[in-house]
Amino acid sequence: MEWKRDWGLTARVWLTGLLLLLLYLVFMTVLLAYGVGMWVIVVLAVGMGLIQYFFSDKMVLWTTGARIIGKDEEPDLHRMVEKLCQEAGLPMPKIAIMHSPVPNAFATGRSPKHAVVACTDSIMRLLNRDELEAVLAHELSHVKNRDILTMTLASFIAMIASMIMQSFLFSMLFGGNNRENGGAGIIIWIVSIIVYAMSTLLILALSRYREFAADRGSALITRNPRALISALNKISGRIEAVPSEAKAKIEGANAFFIIPALSGNSIMELLSTHPPLDKRIANLEKIESELRGY
C-alpha cells in the first residue's frame, strides 16, 4: 500500500504546530520578563506530560471501562485487525472491548508498539464487515501517525498556562497579594488566560486535522472510502438515538472516539475535537475520486 500524503492537510498540521511554538516562545518571554521562576512550573508540566504519554492507554481504558481481550474471545476481530496491520505496516496492537450502547471506537498508546485499539460491543453489531474494517483502519491510522505523541506535545503550553492560572488564584485566595508583586501577578495571570485560550483553540484545530488524516489513512489502507462514509453515517445516526445518560458516561473520552458522543446540544465547530460529519464525508469522497484516478 502506498501511503500518499495530503500535502494541504500536512501543511495545515505543520502551520498549527508552528503557531503553537510561536505562542510558547512569546509566553516564555513574557514570563521571564516579569521574573517568574519557570523551573518549577516547567518541571511540573513536563511531569504531567510524561504521565499522560506513558500511561494514557491505561487511563483511557480505565475511564471507559474497556477490557483487553485475548484472541480466543474475539478471533474474527483479531484476524481483521491483524490483516489491517499488515496492510498498514504496523505491529499488532492490543485489542479491547467496551460495553456501551454508544457505537464507537478509539485508539490509544504512546507508540505503534504500545498501542491499544478498542471498540464497543454495539458498534460490532451495528456495522457490516467492510464498515467495521474501515473504522478500525481509521483508528490504526491514528497509531501510525503517532497522534498521541503529537497531541501530548501540543498540549504542553496549555498545561503551563493552566498551572500559572491556578497557582495565581491559589495565592490570591490563600497567600494574599502585596502591592509590589500584585501588578505583575495580574498581568501574568491575564496573559496566561489569553495563552490558554489561544493554545486550546489551536489544539482543537490540530485534533480536527488529525481526524481528517486518520480518515484518509483508513481510505488508503482499505481502498474503500465508501465503507467509512457508510460507517460514519450509521454511527452518527445511532448515537443521536442513544439516551443522554449513556452518552454522558463516556463523554470524557470523546477526543479519542471516531465520532464524539455528545450528551447535550451540538457545540460550535470551532470548539469541537472533530470536524463536522458533512466535511469528513466530502473529504472522503474527494479521496475516493483520487483512488479512482479522476
Structure confidence by residue, pLDDT tens digits, 248-293:
777 777 778 888 876 554 445 556 888 889 999 999 999 999 888 7
Q: Distances in Å between the alpha carbon of 253 and those of 107, 109, 139?
A: 11, 14, 14
Percent of the chain at pLDDT > 90 equals 39
- Give how far the C-alpha of residue 111 lies from the chain's centroid of Cα atoms, to the nearest Å: 14
- Residues with a catalytic annotation lie at 139
Going by C-beta distance under 8 Å and a sequence separation of 6 or more, which residues neighbour residue 95? 68, 69, 74, 77, 78, 81, 116, 117, 118
| Residue 56 near residue 110 (C-beta atoms within 8 A) | yes
Is residue 179 pLDDT above 50, yes or no? no
| Residue 49 near residue 156 (C-beta atoms within 8 A) | yes
- pTM for this entry: 0.82
Q: Grid coordinates in use for 157?
A: 503550553
Q: Bigger pLDDT: 7 or 197?
A: 197
Whole-number Å distance between alpha carbons of 168 and 184? 11
